[in-house]
C-alpha cells in the first residue's frame, strides 16, 4: 500500500521532499550510486533503497525475531524444576523487552511524527498502523513477562508453562507481522521523506535515555547470532566504541544465553505450529 507521488507530473523538490524522490517512478525511488548498500539479514521482509542507511534498524529487527523464536522454542522444553534456567530466561527477557520498548518508544516519539508531517494520505494510514500495531504487541509481551516471572519464582505448574508457550507464540506472530509491514511499507516512506542527515539526527534522539550500562547489554544482544556476512557488516559500519563494547561484553552475554537457552532443542524448529 505504499503511496506514490502524483504520476501525472513529477513532484517538485522541496525542503520536505528530497530531490531524489521527484522523478516519474513506480513507487520506488530512482537508485543513486551514492546511496548506501542496505543490510539484508535472515527473516527480513525488505531492504528499501534510498539515501538512509538502515543497518541499525535491521540489526534490531533481526534480534527481535531471533529472540522471540528462541523463547518460544525453549520454554516448552525447560523443566519446571530447573529454576536457574528460568531465572536466566527471565534476565534474558529483560534485555530483549528493554531493547524492544526503547525501540518502539523512539519510533512513536520521534520517527512516526517526523514522517507524518511530510506524508500524503496513504502514507499517513501506514504510519498510523505502525503505532497501532505497537499497542497490540505490548500486552502480549507483558503477559509473557509475567509468565516467565512466575516460573522463575519456582511456583509455576505445567499449565503455566503451557500458557506461557501460547503467549510467546502469539507475541512472535504479532511482532513478525508488524516487522514485515514496517519493512515493506513504512521504511520506504522513510527513504522518500528523510535525508541521511535527518536520519542521523533521529538516531541521536533514539539513544536518548540510554545509560552507558545499557549499552553493555544492547551491543552484544544486537550482534548475537548474526550470520558471518552480517557480522562483517557490523564490524565495518560500527563506530570504534561499539566495537570495543562488543569485544568486552560478548563472552558474558554468550554465557547468559547458554544458561537461558540450555534446553533449546538443536536445529531449526517452530514451536508455534
Local confidence band at 236 (pLDDT 50, 70, 90 cut-offs): confident
Q: Are 227 and 63 in contact (CB under 8 A)?
A: no
Q: How far is residue 179's CA from residue 166's CA, in Å, rounded to a whole number?
A: 20
Is the pLDDT reported for residue 96 higher than 80?
yes
Sequence-distant (6+) residues with CB within 8 A of 107 are: 130, 131, 134
Please report the pLDDT score of residue 31 as a whole number: 60
- Give residue-wise pLDDT tens across range 40-50: 999 999 999 99
- Show the domains of the chain with their CATH numbers: 52-260 (1.20.120)
For residue 53, give the 3-state DSSP assignment.
coil
- Scored b (16 or more CB within 10 A) or e, 127-149 reads bebbeebbeebbebbebbbebbe
pLDDT digits (tens, 9 = 90+) for 123-171: 999 999 999 999 999 999 999 999 999 999 999 999 999 999 999 999 9
Amino acid at each position: 500500500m505504499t503511496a506514490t507521488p502524483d504520476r501525472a507530473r513529477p513532484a517538485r523538490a522541496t525542503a520536505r521532499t528530497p530531490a531524489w524522490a521527484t522523478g516519474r517512478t513506480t513507487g520506488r525511488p530512482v537508485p543513486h550510486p551514492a546511496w548506501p548498500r542496505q543490510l539484508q539479514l535472515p527473516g527480513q521482509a525488505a531492504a528499501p533503497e534510498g539515501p538512509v542507511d538502515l543497518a541499525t534498524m535491521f540489526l534490531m529487527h533481526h534480534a527481535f525475531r531471533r529472540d522471540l523464536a528462541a523463547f518460544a522454542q525453549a520454554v516448552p522444553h525447560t523443566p519446571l524444576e530447573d529454576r536457574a534456567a528460568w531465572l536466566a530466561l527471565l534476565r534474558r527477557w529483560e534485555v530483549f523487552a528493554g531493547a524492544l520498548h526503547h525501540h518502539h518508544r523512539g519510533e512513536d516519539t520521534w520517527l512516526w511524527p517526523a514522517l507524518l508531517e511530510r506524508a500524503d494520505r496513504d502514507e499517513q494510514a501506514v504510519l498510523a498502523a505502525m503505532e497501532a500495531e505497537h499497542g497490540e504487541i505490548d500486552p502480549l509481551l507483558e503477559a509473557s513477562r509475567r509468565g516467565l516471572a512466575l516460573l522463575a519464582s519456582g511456583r509455576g505448574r505445567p499449565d503455566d508453562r503451557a500458557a506461557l508457550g501460547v503467549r510467546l507464540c502469539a507475541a512472535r506472530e504479532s511482532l513478525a507481522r508488524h516487522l514485515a509491514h514496517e519493512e515493506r511499507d513504512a521504511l520506504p516512506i522513510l527513504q522518500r521523506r528523510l535525508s541521511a542527515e535527518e536520519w542521523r539526527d533521529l538516531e541521536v534522539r533514539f539513544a536518548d535515555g540510554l545509560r552507558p550500562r545499557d549499552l553493555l547489554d544492547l551491543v552484544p544482544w544486537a550482534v548475537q547470532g548474526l550470520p558471518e556476512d552480517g557480522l562483517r557488516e557490523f564490524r565495518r559500519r560500527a563506530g570504534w566504541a561499539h566495537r570495543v563494547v562488543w569485544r568486552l561484553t560478548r563472552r558474558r552475554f554468550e554465557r547468559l544465553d547458554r544458561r537461558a537457552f540450555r534446553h533449546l532443542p538443536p536445529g531449526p524448529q517452530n514451536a508455534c505450529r
